């Protein structure tokens, strides 16, 4: 089955109301929509984990100077 990429791109970029409407409209594409949902949830968890693992000690600021963190 041929799938139009613009439909999947619109689903991925849309908010919950757009996603819900497209999910109900394009019944044959639900397996692809489910894959996009799983992928987007996984990325959200990875970003949250990365932020939590960020060190609170010394860091470099944009001016290339070492800045001491408040938590260390």
Give pLDDT tens digits for 2-29. Answer: 668 889 999 999 999 999 999 999 999 9
SS (H, E, C) the chain: CCCCHHHHHHHHHCCHHHHHHHHHHCHHHHHHHHHHHHHHHHHHHHHHHHHHHCCCCCEECCCCCEECCCCC
Give pLDDT tens digits for 38-69. Answer: 988 876 665 555 555 555 555 555 565 555 55
In this predicted structure, what is the pLDDT of residue 54? 56
Q: How many Å apart are CA 57 and CA 72, to the nearest integer?
A: 5
């Amino acid at each position: 089955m041929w799938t139009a990429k613009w439909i999947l791109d619109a689903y991925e970029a849309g908010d919950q109301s757009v996603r819900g409407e497209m999910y109900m409209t394009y019944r044959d594409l639900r397996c692809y929509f489910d894959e996009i949902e799983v992928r987007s949830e996984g990325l959200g968890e990875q970003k949250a984990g990365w932020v939590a693992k960020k060190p609170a000690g010394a860091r470099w600021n944009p001016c290339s100077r070492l800045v001491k963190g408040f938590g260390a």
